Structure 1
């Protein structure tokens, strides 16, 4: 299955960079769901300057493009949940300003402490005050949705208004069944994805820099037919309904 629109060059470049940096790898990987995946994306390896620049620019481009296509979408603060979301929030805010200083130059960023500080300035949050502000959560992945729901709760407790969520990768696969969680295999039932469930629960856009469909299309453009076939077989078995 191919995308309905050509894959943007910047996505192809990001996929190629992820391959050469061993961020995107192919093989046999056992996931928490006990599924055996033919590919794995380790977002923690976006840890060198040129890689940080690439991924933060990709986040910024994704947010900016969505805002251009949906004029009512706007936000004041990027919230990066501790710990992986912290550098993403800071670097993406800077890249947004570079795309459109007039629109995004005043976007702030904030993050939570794992433990509330009881001295100095104190409190749970570091960075921009989100009280009364429109907030987008930025994180690397969404697996079971537990961390995102915790972040949503923090935003509500601090008086912010959630208007969007963005992650690096949407694997576009259905949520694990109870039998899978017990290691007994998929029960074959039709289910939606975690991202789809969170989108329904919150009523806000849940964006992804790259989807499985993007990766398949990017690998096809790079002439990696064997990997494309394996991903297509995986998607045929575990693809979500949303």
Structure 2
């Protein structure tokens, strides 16, 4: 089992105790153990959100309402009120759980969660050759259509959440800027975000989604990185429209 199979399997079966799955978790050196721990914590949060406490005496009140025939009309209104209150409570709990699940599974959240295991890449300063940069993208079945940006110091195949990705770092005026490209992911919503100390932006390209991340880098550095990777991934003809 490789890292991609492990993370896809864990995304669909987070509580699985399959021996092959656990064996990969315990032996992988690419951060799969930390991914497993984050998945378990998220499942714990969902279970906690679903554990809505029942009001004291609710069962007694319901039984009393069912047993008292001469107050059918009044109790009918009372049951309707209680059902409405319970529906509202369930609706609020469901909306809260759905929002939390959606937020935790957003591309911004998964991109930021990926970074603690890649912080060493931000310290690299030696530029890579164009061939080495191209090789990193070929590993994700992607060929660059334009020249790589200047000062690329890191390229690596990785996984962001459940998405296969290329992780790259460029240095702009000695400021490290991260680029995470997920080929084939076409349902993202372009825009900017600030999360967990990271400034970020999602960029929709013709063949996938590009996420630009930086901590304290200038807007100019992030703009330059975005333009460079747009031109490299989608083709140099795009630079004229940026």
Under a length normalisation based on structure 1, what TM-score does the superposition of the two structures give?
0.27
Question: Which one has a bigger Cα radius of gyration?
Answer: 2
Q: Which has the higher contact order (CA 8 A, sep 6+)?
A: 1
